[in-house]
């Protein structure tokens, strides 16, 4: 975490958008191009749940129901991660912040270097199709989609051959709850960030590579430089 006044080139990139908007897909692509670490609070919480930690036991039922985990639990979990990133020039954040309260906490950690915020817009029905069709590799965490981006061999990762899995909260009923939680608790955060200068919106309905290239152009304009691909 950058101390106040230190590392003036430090940049945090925050991805906002409803479940299924492509935040995880773009986070991995962009962190690679920027050469910085990334955080996925969803992955982190699922890891706690699978290991049965104290935090995982508190979060389990909340995540399964498609609701948001309380701010104090998420803030302290992410705070520990931030402290471990003191040597990096920036970070990409997927799934944090998700409430105005979490955004205020992030502001305190970042000091003078406010985040660059990207908001993805995607149609509701497209979100449902993306989430019901999503499959992930438990080893390398690559994301696939049985309808939109299938692996070469049905059910197995192209990269390491591991059997792909489906998230329990990608059940259609829970997806609708997650989308409702987004409207209630995260939509106000979009308006909070919209008032700021480093806020950008991206049409997330485009193909993933087009979105990544557009993100790089936006970030270069905001003085965050992507490596050429
Ligand atoms: P989290 O894991 O963050 O889930 P989410 O926000 O619901 O977002 P998703 O991961 O479902 O979607 P995504 O936007 O990353 O889309 P993806 O790239 O995978 O959170 C899970 C839960 O943890 C929450 O419900 C909550 O309980 C808890 N939680 C997490 N953070 C929290 C916080 N800060 N505070 C409180 N609680 C918190 O893509 C989806 C699919 O679409 C994939 O199959 C992909 O291949 C496909 N796809 C992606 N982009 C495109 C494209 N451009 N075109 C076509 N298909 C695409």
C-alpha 122/C-alpha 193 separation (Å) is 18
Q: Which residues form the pocket of ligand 1, taking CB atoms under 6 Å from any ligand atom?
A: 17, 19-25, 41-42, 45, 62-63, 66-69, 74, 95-96, 98, 102, 130-131, 133-134, 143-145, 148-149, 169, 178, 204, 206-208, 211
Helix (H, G, I), strand (E, B) or coil at 69: coil
In the residue annotation, 23 being an active-site residue is answered as: yes
Q: What is the pLDDT of residues 66-124, one digit of tens each?
A: 999 999 999 999 999 998 988 888 999 999 999 999 999 999 998 888 899 999 999 99
What ligand 1 atom has the least distance to the C-alpha of 133?
Answer: 44
Establish whether the linkage from the previous residue to 97 is cis, with ω within 30° of 0: yes
pLDDT tens string 158-190: 999 999 999 999 999 999 999 999 999 999 999
């Amino acid at each position: 975490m950058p101390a106040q006044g230190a590392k003036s080139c430090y940049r945090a990139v925050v991805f906002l958008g409803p479940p299924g908007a492509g935040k995880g897909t773009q986070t991995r692509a962009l962190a690679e191009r920027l050469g910085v670490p990334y955080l996925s609070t969803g992955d982190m919480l699922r890891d706690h749940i699978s290991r049965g930690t104290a935090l995982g036991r508190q979060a389990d039922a909340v995540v399964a129901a498609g609701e948001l985990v309380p701010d104090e639990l998420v803030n302290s979990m992410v705070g520990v991660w931030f402290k471990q990133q003191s040597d990096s020039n920036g970070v990409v954040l997927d799934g944090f912040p998700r409430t105005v309260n979490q955004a205020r906490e992030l502001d305190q950690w970042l000091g003078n270097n406010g985040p660059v915020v990207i908001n993805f817009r995607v149609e509701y029905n497209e979100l449902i199709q993306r989430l019901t069709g999503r499959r992930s590799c438990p080893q390398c965490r690559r994301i696939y989609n049985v309808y939109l981006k299938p692996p070469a061999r049905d059910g197995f990762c192209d990269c390491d051959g591991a059997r792909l899995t489906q998230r329990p909260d990608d059940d259609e009923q829970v997806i609708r709850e997650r989308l409702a939680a987004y409207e209630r608790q995260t939509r106000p955060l979009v308006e909070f960030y919209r008032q700021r200068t480093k806020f950008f919106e991206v049409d997330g309905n485009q193909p993933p590579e087009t979105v990544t290239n557009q993100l790089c152009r936006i970030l270069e304009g905001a003085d965050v430089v992507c490596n050429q691909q």
